[in-house]
Amino acid sequence: MSETTEQSIGQSARKHTISLLLENKFGALNRVAGMFSAKGYNLDSITVGPTEDASLSRMTIVTKGDDAIIEQIIKQLNKLIDTLKVVDLTYDSFMERELALIKIGTTSENRPEIMQVVEIFRAKIIDISHKTLTVEATGSGQKVDAIIKMLKPFHIKEIARTGRVALKREFVGEV
Amino acid sequence: MTQQTTTTTQRQMTGAEIFVRSLIEENVEIVFGYPGGAVIGIYDALHDISDIKHILTRHEQGAVHAAEGYAKASGRPGVALVTSGPGATNTVTGIADAYMDSIPIVVFTGQVALKLIGNDAFQEADIVGITRPITKHSYLVRDVNELAATIKEAFYVATTGRPGPVLVDLPKDVMATKTIFNYPKSVKLRSYQPHVEGNQKQLDKAVALIAKAKRPVLYVGGGVILSNAAEELKKFAHKTKIPVTTTLHGLGAFPETDELSLGMLGMHGTWYSNTAVNYCDLLIAVGARFDDRVTGKTDAFAPEAKKIHIDVDPSNISKNVKVDVPIVGDVKKVLQQLLPLVSALDTRDWIQTIKNWKEEHPLRYNNGKYIRMQHVIQKISELTKGKAVMVSDVGQHQMWMAQFYQYLYPRTHLTSGGLGTMGFSLPASMGAAFARKDFPIVSISGDGGFQMNIQELATIREYNVPVKIIILNNGYLGMVRQWQELFWRKRYSHVEMLSPDYVKVAEAYGIPGFRATVTSDVDDVIKQLFETDGPALAEFKVVKEDNVYPMIPAGQTYHEIIDIPNEKSEPIEGEEQTDLEMVTFSKG
For residues A45 and A65, state if they share a domain: yes
Give residue-wise pLDDT tens across range A104-144. 999 999 999 999 999 999 999 999 999 999 999 999 999 99
**Burial category of B5 from C-beta neighbours within 10 Å (exposed 0-12, middle 13-18, buried 19 and up):** exposed
The domain B371-542: what is its CATH number?
3.40.50.970
Give the total residue count for chain A.
Answer: 175
Closest Cα in chain A, distance from residue B264 (Å)? 28
Residue B398 sits at the vertex; the CA angle it makes with B397 and B400, to the nearest 5 degrees, is 60
Instruction: Decide which of A69, A91, A113 is a domain's last residue.
Output: A91
Mean pLDDT of chain A: 90
Q: Do B137 and A76 touch (CB under 8 A)?
A: no
Domain annotation covers residue A175: no
Cβ atoms B286, B302 nearer than 8 A: no
Contact: A78, B314; criterion CB under 8 Å: yes
Identity of residue B352? Q
Write the residue in A34, A76, A84 that is nearest to B132 by C-beta: A34
- Domain total in chain A: 2
Domain that holds residue A125: 95-168
Domain boundaries, chain B: 6-184, 200-359, 371-542
Q: Is B585 helix (H, G, I), strand (E, B) or coil?
A: strand
How far apart (Å, rounded) are the C-alpha atoms in residues B133 and B287? Answer: 22
**Structural domain contains residue A80:** yes
pLDDT of A5: 42
Answer whether residue A174 is part of any domain: no
**Domain identity same for A80 and A106:** no
Helix (H) or strand (E) holding B70: helix B60-74
How far apart are alpha carbons A62 and A171 in whole angstroms? 23
pLDDT computed for residue A12 by the predictor: 81
The confidence band for A172, taking pLDDT boundaries of 50, 70 and 90, is low
What's the rounded Cα separation, in Å, for the pair A157 and A135? 12
* Claim to verify: residue A77 and residue A105 sit in the same structural domain: no
What whole-number distance in Å separates Cα of residue A90 and Cα of residue B320?
A: 24
Angle between helix axes B478-487 and B396-404 (nearest 10 degrees) is 100
Asked if the structure places residue A7 within a domain, the reply is: no
Q: Between chains, do A26 and B192 touch, taking CB under 8 Å as contact?
A: no
Interface touch A72/B137, C-beta < 8 Å: no
- C-alpha B36/C-alpha B23 separation (Å) is 19
Measured between CA atoms, how close is B329 to chain A, in angstroms?
14
**Would you call B129 and A84 a contact, using CB atoms and an 8 Å cutoff?**
no
CB B277 within 8 A of CB B293: no
Residues of A in contact with B157 (CB under 8 A): 81
Q: Do B157 and A34 touch (CB under 8 A)?
A: no
- Given phi > 0 = left and psi -120 to 50 = alpha, else beta, which region is B423? left
Q: Where are the alpha helices (DSSP H) in B405-491?
A: 425-435, 447-450, 456-462, 478-487
Report the interhelical angle of B425-435 vs B60-74 (nearest 10°).
Answer: 50
| Amino acid identity for residue A154 in this structure | F
Assigned domain for A4 exists: no
| Environment class of B455 (CB within 10 Å of its CB; exposed 0-12, middle 13-18, buried 19+) | middle
Single out the residue of B262, B260, B267 nearest to residue B301, CA to CA.
Answer: B267
Q: Which of A91, A123, A148 is the last residue of a domain?
A: A91
Strands A132-139 and A155-161: unpaired
Identify whether residues A124 and A86 lie together within a single domain.
no
Q: Are strands B467-473 and B513-516 parallel, antiparallel or unpaired?
A: unpaired
Q: Which among B133, B157, B319 is the nearest to A72, CB-wise?
A: B319
- Helix (H) / strand (E) containing A79: helix A67-79
Per CATH, is B6-184 categorized as 3.40.50.970?
Answer: yes
A75/B314 touch (CB, cutoff 8 Å), yes or no: yes
Contact residues, chain A, for B129 at CB < 8 Å: 27, 30
A77 and A109 together in one domain: no
End-of-domain residue from the set A91, A113, A145: A91
pLDDT of residue B566: 77
Q: Is the peptide bond before B550 cis (omega within 30 degrees of 0)?
A: yes
Nearest-CA neighbor of B172 among B118, B91, B114?
B114
Residue A79: its chain B contacts at CB < 8 A? 313-315
- Per the model's pLDDT, the better-predicted residue between A170 and B144 turns out to be B144
Q: Give yes or no for residue A4 having a pLDDT over 60.
A: no
Burial B473-504 (b: 16+ CB within 10 A, else e): bbbbbbbbbbbbeeeeeeeeeebeeebeebbe
* Nearby residues of B67 by Cβ (< 8 Å), 6 or more positions away: B32, B78, B79, B80, B94, B98, B105, B107, B431
pLDDT for residue A3: 39
* Residue B153, SS3 per DSSP: helix
Q: ∠ at Cα B423 (B422, B427), nearest 5°? A: 145
Phi, psi of B511 (to 5 degrees): -115, 130
A65: CATH = 3.30.70.260
Specify the CATH number for B200-359; select among 1.10.10.10, 3.40.190.290, 3.40.50.1220, 3.40.50.620.
Answer: 3.40.50.1220
Query: Chain B closest CA to A5's CA: distance in Å?
Result: 19
Residue A139 lies in a domain: yes
Query: Strand (E) positions, chain A?
Result: 14-23, 45-50, 56-65, 83-88, 94-105, 124-128, 132-139, 155-161, 165-168
Q: Which amino acid is at B551?
A: M
**pLDDT tens for the 588 residues of chain B, in order:** 444 556 776 789 999 999 999 999 999 999 999 999 999 999 999 998 999 999 999 999 999 999 999 999 999 999 999 999 999 999 999 999 999 999 999 999 999 999 999 999 999 999 999 999 999 999 999 999 999 999 999 999 999 999 999 999 999 999 999 999 999 999 999 999 998 999 999 999 999 999 999 999 999 999 999 999 999 999 999 999 999 999 999 999 999 999 999 999 999 999 999 999 999 999 999 999 999 999 999 999 999 999 999 999 999 998 899 999 999 999 999 999 999 999 999 999 999 999 999 999 999 999 999 999 999 999 999 999 999 999 999 999 999 999 999 999 999 999 999 999 999 999 999 999 999 999 999 999 999 999 999 999 999 999 999 999 999 999 999 999 999 999 999 999 999 999 999 999 999 999 999 999 999 999 999 999 999 999 999 999 999 999 999 999 999 999 999 998 877 778 888 898 888 999 999 887
Residue A23 located in a structural domain: yes
In the A/B pair of chains, how many CB contacts fall below 8 A?
39
CATH number of residue A158's parent domain: 3.30.70.1150
Which residues of B have a CB under 8 Å from any CB of A? Answer: 128-129, 132-133, 136-137, 140, 142, 157, 189-192, 313-315, 317-319, 322
The pLDDT value recorded for residue A7 is 44
So which residues of B are the catalytic ones?
Answer: 60, 122-123, 172, 479
- The burial class, CB within 10 Å (0-12 / 13-18 / 19+), for B556 is middle
One domain for residues A18 and A87: yes
CB A83 to CB B191 under 8 A? Answer: yes
Distances (CA, A) of B457 to B199, B466, B502: 49, 11, 11
Angle (CA) B517 B519 B522, round 5°: 80
Instruction: Give the pLDDT of residue A11.
Output: 60
Please state the φ and ψ torsions of residue B542, each to the nearest 5 degrees. -110, 170
For residues A21 and A87, state if they share a domain. Answer: yes
Bridge-based pairing of strands B178-184 and B6-14 is antiparallel
> Is position A5 within any domain?
no
Q: Are B270 and B550 in contact (CB under 8 A)?
A: yes
**B371-542 shares the fold of B6-184:** yes
> What distance in Å separates the CA atoms of residue B308 and residue B220, rounded to the nearest whole number?
12
Residue-level pLDDT at A6? 42
Q: For residue B485, what are the CA distances in angstroms to B20, B395, B542?
A: 53, 15, 18
- Chain B nearest CA to A33, separation (Å): 11
| pTM of the shown model | 0.93
Domain identity same for A73 and A24: yes
B117-123 contacts at long range (C-beta below 8 A, 24 or more positions apart): B117/B171, B122/B37, B122/B85, B123/B36, B123/B37, B123/B38, B123/B83, B123/B84, B123/B85, B123/B86, B123/B87
* Minimum Cα–Cα distance from A23: chain B residue: B191
